[in-house]
Structure 1
């Protein structure tokens, strides 16, 4: 049997984390003492470790709730259901990585297009690129243009 602080310490989280999980229906103390202290069992500790491992690989609270419901009723679920959840999460992560790579390339182009000097920002190529609907960013420090059709395509598709 664990009090909230003991379980939190054992799992290297704060007691507030356990209260948060309780508030959102992921974890509940097995009982309370007469004075109202939460009491957790080893089974509760295992559930907390499950939650923390699922969180560590990127699952959201809603996804963890779904995983917990499967965990509690394994005989009525197939491995394919669990794999489907993982594959869906993996696709989401891969999509996010692709989006971040796009941001990285776009920001690198903007950065390379600017000299970064002490001159007035009145003719800053970064601001001009963000203000206009142009396919090119004038490269102040190299004297050439970068093709930046991604900016235009996004603007045209939204407008």
Structure 2
């Protein structure tokens, strides 16, 4: 899913990953089989937009009621993630991808417009992965306000289409 390759489409298997979290534990998509996974890519720990996004996911009663697994991923190191998670009481893992290899593979790293200037970096994107490991929906240009509720609504909509739900 790098430049020039087609983006992952809903219904396609989401690539498995093995990324370390703040506590040193490696997290894999396969660890969460059978559950909805909200994987969100964000630019930087403890910045205004990223803090608001993380806190909205933390506070979403709808996502909690759905039992969704929330995973954040950025290029920040484990120490930065640990401090960010502790400062804002984030109850979900923040994963580190320092070389952005995984982020590039899912299209969440590359050229972006930052205050009118084109720079390389992590794009604020969210991927909703179903209990079967397939992509349900992706948000490729996230606006933080109301985003957690939109993700919960997508889980509701997807559950209605699953015969085993």
What's the TM-score, normalizing by structure 2?
A: 0.25
Q: Which of the pair has the greater relative contact order for Cα pairs under 8 Å at 6+ separation? A: 2
What's the TM-score, normalizing by structure 1?
A: 0.25
> Computing the radius of gyration over CA atoms, which structure comes out larger, 1 or 2?
1
